[in-house]
A and B are shown apart, each in its own frame.
Chain A
């Protein structure tokens, strides 16, 4: 491993949130971005290859360490966590509506779903998957919501551009149709 790889490894290791290329550049004064990126890629490839318990994942615009999925059970045993709960269907639906229509208000989300979404929205706020970004200039000045950085991390997305595209969604719908026929 090159010195740069070692260095980058240390920097990603200590960080609790994704380390962006910009952050690495700021720390590693004078090292070209392309070199840093190559070092991270080489490092990440090394972790994926060999018998390692952790790997480097790309999410939220940066890199961070995560345990490999195969070790989930033992990690939970160490932390004494029985299971990690997933979002409820209502929570996920609300999150999806916000992710695709942001910035949105509660009533807009409720209209998309045809269901009052106040409770689900509150849960998402508490889980920090969405955030309030201001108020809309409309009667009642309703709060406006967006997805948070934690949201990207939660779903392992690098940015909002990585949300399932229109084409992917259309394909799912086609598959459903085919399944019915």
Chain B
């Protein structure tokens, strides 16, 4: 399973704070970490180790300790964590091998890991700075973000003939057909999952542009399923769709009364 598309930002630091528990006193859920590199950085920070001179044996022991305690990670995530575990063990074995001559500087077996950690650490630090910018911007409303004013003139649910909606869709399919495609089959998408995603997106963006939305979809199959979802939402009066002009794009938004509660069952 890929990562969740949306999540409520957890109070990261609070979630990571060690809670009193058994063993060495640290009980941390793996789910709190963005990934194996995040976990490694956490362990390195906890031990106040220099990232360029990691005691591999000790860190490997800690890292594996966390993996053993894991309870709730799914297989894909586990694979990612195990990959780094394997890398750690490999590096450890390389460090143990006797050598006739000392290693030159660039040849430290830890190098591959350190380079990745350093890079990831930078990305994480950049995230903190970008988050500040996001927080500042999110309070300032610009005109391009504004959905139509709610209330009052909310149009009736089926303003749009089914054929218009379908026509837009075929227009899109035609555009797709014109592309020289090189198809590699992706994973199957369920209507249920798509519906959830779509409702989430509508809540978030308040209004979506029909054609643009579908163009962002990787496969025809996925686009088709999304199309059914839109029809379903309109039919169940959870969403409204409107086309201002013939052959123009169609805008879709959650109906006011559905905004709070809209959920597919």
Contact = CB atoms under 8 A, between A and B. Distances in A.
A114 B86 CA distance: 13
A119 B5 contact: yes
B137 A155 contact: yes
A65 B38 CA distance: 39
Contact of A115 (B35, B147, B213, B218): B35
Q: Is the interface of B mostly helix, strand, loop or mixed?
A: helix
Contact of B120 (A87, A99, A112): A112
Nearest to A16: B144
B138 A86 contact: yes
Contacts of A67: 140-141
Contacts of B98: none
A100 B126 CA distance: 9
Interface in A141-181: 141, 153-157, 163-164, 168-169, 172-173, 176, 180-181
A66 B140 contact: yes
A81 B34 contact: no
Interface stretch (A26-34, A35-43, A44-52, A90-98): A90-98
Most buried by B among A75, A164, A168: A164
Given A114-B116, A118-B2, A154 B123 contact: no
A122 interface: yes
A169 B76 contact: no
Contact of A113 (B120, B138, B212): B120
Given A114-B35, A181-B48, 16 more contacts: A65-B143, A66-B140, A69-B139, A84-B138, A85-B6, A92-B130, A93-B123, A112-B116, A112-B120, A114-B36, A119-B2, A120-B3, A120-B5, A153-B142, A163-B126, A172-B129
6 contacts: A72-B141, A80-B150, A85-B204, A89-B127, A91-B5, A93-B127
